[in-house]
Amino acid sequence: MSKSLSSFFKGRRALLPLGVLALSSSLLATPVMAETLNIGVMGELASFDTSQVSGGVWESQVLMDVFEGLLKKSPDGELLPGMATSWDVSDDGKTYTFHMREGAKWSDGEPVTAEDFVFGWQHLLAPENASKYAYMLYPIKGAEAVNTGKADADTLGAESLDDGKTLKVTLNHPTPYFPQLLTHYTAYPVPKHLVDKYGKDWVKLDNIAVNGAFKPVEWVSQSRISVKKNPSYYDADDISLDGVNYYTTEDRNAGISRFRAGEFDVLRDYPSSRYQWLTENLPDATHMSPMLGSYYYVLNNREGRPTADKRVREALNLAVRRNVLSEQIMAGSFKTSTGMVPPGTNHYEAQHMNLVSDDMSARMAKAKALLKEAGYGPDHPLHLTLRYNTSDEHKKIAIAVAAMWKPLGIDVEMANAEATVHYQTIQQGDFDVARAGWIADYNDAENFLTLLHSGVGNNYGAYSSKQYDDLMDQAAQTQDLDAREKLLEKAENVALDDYAFIPMLTYVTRNLVNPEIEGWADNVGDDHPSRWVHFTD
């Protein structure tokens, strides 16, 4: 199969216009190939203005190819110098001094300076720009006050020094994941000179300038965004591709057909139900690897709910057969999980909930005893509402979990709604058990554990533990990475011992990748900058 697959791909590389071809072949006697990477992405970019991005994973694929932050990522997801070539951190961990790359230019030839970063961040935080992801920069001193309109933009803890050659950033707390944050699109620079000139229209393709490896040249809404190599990029000589096309591909099965027809080199997701078929038929192209994402069930800890009783929460957890969900229901396309923070997270050891035993009959016996103790039994069966957002995968899992709880005499009422309604309903607390998922914004345990902190909006189950909150607050003030890790792990164990939620599965990345490309590697962030990609001959 791989052989016929490669022959499919042969026709993909577009030849340059015939005239050029004839000329170059007569001169060099070898045809010149224009190497374009075709990627099927699951949705459309909301905007090239990073303050207007809506948060889809497909958006970062395009943005990381056209912009570059102070740091960038290697194919494996390791941090590398980007627009800053080096940086110093103060002893208290709160001040970062970045030394900007000399000779870095926007695609219109203007230099990229520290000023563009300060401006970009102020632009993101400006209340009138209403950026959904502005909170990503809240670790920077004054950011929250600027974003909420309580302080002027110039009070932000980011300063351009030495004529824009140095950027000094002051943080609220030592934030070990700050360098990670700098690779996120919210921390990209914005060309001040163009915003001054064109206002909101600076992102129109006729006006835009970028500082990344590729420059956008065409955008057919709902169909394709095309970018071409940016000759002003400092590493342009090392970029192998001439351009990249990102095709909006909402129908994942149709994406598989287009991949098989050789129209795509990379498909950024495929339905989990096709995993088995793909591993058998396209073994060299099918990629699946662990990702920083947790699939869990929220338990409503609010007073008056049956799930406010710890014994009920423990019983529910004991009865879930995670390996059945992973292997049988999801056909191996999710990994089992018994904690909130997924394995592979930086400076963190994955923690596990105490589920008594591997033996299911022992677990079920314990669960039954716990429910009985909590006052539930044949005369007074436990009735639960399970909510999930509409999707085949979520439905399959919900049905399976309800069936696992049935032997305990639990009567489950299932309710599904489209995502918008689902999250609004569970934020209001109208549920007992609800499906939720979290994909990391940055590679740090804090990003997951904050979901269980009292008063946090995304803590849908309203779990509240003073001990947990204290440990988390203490960790936020701790600079030493090992000491911080211990505090965070301790906090997670507090929540796990409270059976605060039902950990179930860890997300995986699912990609189809043309075996003839190199410089593309699986990584926990599922970040794949096209600048490293090249075709093998």
Q: Which residues bind other proteins (CB under 8 A)?
A: 8, 44, 46-49, 52, 54-55, 127-132, 134-135, 144, 147-149, 203-204, 219-224, 247-251, 253-254, 257-258, 260-261, 263, 418-421, 423-425, 427, 436-438, 457-458
For β-strands 501-513 and 335-336, DSSP reports them as: antiparallel
Q: Which residues lie below 8 Å from residue 89, measured CB to CB, with a gap of 6+?
A: 95, 96, 97
For the CB of residue 120, give the shortest distance to other proteins in the complex, in Å: 16
Q: Report the C-alpha gap between 400 and 413 in whole angstroms.
A: 13
Q: Report the C-alpha gap between 332 and 276 in whole angstroms.
A: 8
For the CB of residue 134, give the shortest distance to other proteins in the complex, in Å: 6
Burial (0-12, 13-18, 19+ Cβ within 10 Å), 302: middle
Nearer to other proteins, 203 or 414 (CB): 203
Nearer to other proteins, 1 or 356 (CB): 1
Does residue 71 sit in helix, strand or coil?
A: strand
When computed from its CA atoms, the radius of gyration of the chain, rounded to whole angstroms, is 25
Helices in 182-274 by DSSP H: which ranges?
Answer: 192-198, 252-260
For the CB of residue 251, give the shortest distance to other proteins in the complex, in Å: 4
For the CB of residue 283, give the shortest distance to other proteins in the complex, in Å: 17
For the CB of residue 328, give the shortest distance to other proteins in the complex, in Å: 26
For β-strands 224-229 and 166-170, DSSP reports them as: unpaired
Nearer to other proteins, 328 or 424 (CB): 424
Nearer to other proteins, 219 or 376 (CB): 219
For the CB of residue 125, give the shortest distance to other proteins in the complex, in Å: 10
Nearer to other proteins, 285 or 315 (CB): 285
Does residue 516 sit in helix, strand or coil?
A: coil
For the CB of residue 317, give the shortest distance to other proteins in the complex, in Å: 23
Retrieve residue 329's tokens. Answer: 């229901």
Retrieve residue 357's tokens. Answer: 């035993």
Nearer to other proteins, 127 or 231 (CB): 127
For the CB of residue 359, give the shortest distance to other proteins in the complex, in Å: 36
Nearer to other proteins, 134 or 408 (CB): 134
CB atoms within 10 A of CB 110: 16
For the CB of residue 219, give the shortest distance to other proteins in the complex, in Å: 8
- Check if the beta carbon of residue 423 is closer than 8 Å to that of residue 395: no
Nearer to other proteins, 48 or 98 (CB): 48
Residue 166 β-bridge partners: 99, 161
Nearer to other proteins, 86 or 424 (CB): 424
Nearer to other proteins, 374 or 452 (CB): 452
For the CB of residue 135, give the shortest distance to other proteins in the complex, in Å: 5
Q: Which residues lie below 8 Å from residue 76, measured CB to CB, with a gap of 6+?
A: 521, 523
CB atoms within 10 A of CB 430: 14
Q: State the DSSP string of 271-322.
A: -GGGHHHHHHHSTTTEEEEEEEEEEEEEE--STTSGGGSHHHHHHHHHH--H
Q: Report the C-alpha gap between 143 and 308 in whole angstroms.
A: 36
- Check if the beta carbon of residue 137 is closer than 8 Å to that of residue 186: yes
Helices in 330-465 by DSSP H: which ranges?
Answer: 360-373, 392-405, 419-427, 445-449
